[in-house]
Amino acid sequence: MGLTQNKLKPFCLFLFSLLTLTPLAFSEIFLEEHFEGGWKSRWVLSDWKRNEGKAGTFKHTAGKWPGDPDNKGIQTYNDAKHYAISAKIPEFSNKNRTLVVQYSVKIEQDIECGGAYIKLLSGYVNQKQFGGDTPYSLMFGPDICGTQTKKLHVIISYQGQNYPIKKDLECETDKLNHFYTFILRPDASYSVLVDNKEREFGSMYTDWDILPPRKIKVKNAKKPVDWDDREYIDDPEDVKPEGFDSIPRQIPDQKAKEPEDWDEEENGLWEPPMIPNPAYKGSWKAKKIKNPNYKGKWKNPWIDNPEFEDDPDLYVLKPIRYAGIEVWQVKAGSIFDNILISDDPEYARSMVDDYFAQHRESEKELFAEAEKEKKAREDEEARIAREEGERRRKERGDRYGHRDRRHRYKRHHRRDYMDDYHDEL
């Protein structure tokens, strides 16, 4: 039985809505980790550096000022250690699809020096030996050291060599939770977002030194003799007025009067002082007009680089099989959470929006309260230290004062004895 006209319209609307929603059905999530129940079965803590006593561990916690106390992550737990942990994921390739890597990190400690980045790994990885020398395909996230280094790493591996992004990207340094997002598209364009705000964008062709540049400047190029780069020129029809150069710069002040006590025999003939001439206009200059022959500012021309050989798969990483955290920190306390590896930027954006809508304000309030309590403790410790210092200074003063009194008594008694001795003599 065929569709009637009355039934055809709703069916078309349904079909249209189905087609518009179809792309969402093909989006894929390769890893979404919120470190909820059973997370230890999915993540393997590495033994790298453990025999040397340099391996740290992770604590499952929501932190000191959690926006959501039930949303726990894994926190670096021991100071001055290496931390390495990884999860195996179904192997996937980002060929012909967008890659989205996103996670949150809250650096609760005064980190001093340490990383807070994550890595995507390819090939086979012995997860119990995963460490700093394990090859990776992508490294992304903050690296802080002192007051100078506040770097946001984006390092891509290409044909076995690691290439850092050429742009200087800064990470956040406060102690609140922040989301870092890296998006890599099939046209080799990319975006870096922090808390859903685009921090940087560009292309792998220009922002990494992976391939030679497409274009290069001509060496030793010289501006053509007939190149006119004067945007404005003198108006050839503008003529200097007759007598313009004879206008004096200064003229006698006609309003000045000879002083009554002026003595010509003694002071000479009185002359009025000179004042600026309002008719004087300085050196004559012709009016400027647009140069009809202006060709623009000359620039060194670009040509195709003979050494450039395109790679249409420049953006393609080796098939990803693991996600890992491998960092060194002087002071521990960074909480990693909300890890997402997907091909859907909109889903990643919604995850961040949901967090900020539901938990950001409560996190800020708890952090402000924690800072207030911390300051109160520091003030109290400073007060106790001052009182202890005053007590010790007073004790030293009393002790030294008693010794001085004894010393003065001995000197006085000795002087009296010597006086009596001399009297007897």
Split into its structural domains, the chain has a count of: 1
Instruction: Tell me whether residue 119 is annotated as binding.
Output: yes
Is residue 10 situated within a structural domain?
Answer: no
Instruction: Tell me whether residue 326 is annotated as binding.
Output: yes
The whole model's pTM is what?
Answer: 0.74
Is residue 239 situated within a structural domain?
Answer: no
Q: What is the CATH number of the domain that holds 45?
A: 2.60.120.200
Is residue 30 situated within a structural domain?
Answer: yes
- Rounded distance, CA 111 to CA 346, Å? 32
Q: What is the mean pLDDT of each run of 10 residues along the chain (425 residues)?
A: 46 46 67 95 97 96 92 96 98 97 96 95 97 97 90 97 97 95 98 97 97 93 93 92 89 90 87 91 91 93 94 97 98 97 98 94 91 87 90 82 62 57 52
Instruction: Tell me whether residue 232 is annotated as binding.
Output: no
Instruction: Tell me whether residue 117 is annotated as binding.
Output: yes
Is residue 217 situated within a structural domain?
Answer: no
Helix (H) or strand (E) holding 25: helix 5-26
CB count, 10 Å around CB of 96?
10
Is residue 222 situated within a structural domain?
Answer: no
pLDDT attached to residue 190: 98
pLDDT attached to residue 371: 85
- Rounded distance, CA 228 to CA 291, Å? 9
Is residue 128 situated within a structural domain?
Answer: yes
pLDDT attached to residue 2: 44
Is residue 93 situated within a structural domain?
Answer: yes
Q: Which domain holds residue 33?
A: 26-209+315-375
Instruction: Tell me whether residue 353 is annotated as binding.
Output: no
Q: Are the C-beta atoms of 154 and 137 separated by less than 8 Å?
A: no
Is residue 275 situated within a structural domain?
Answer: no
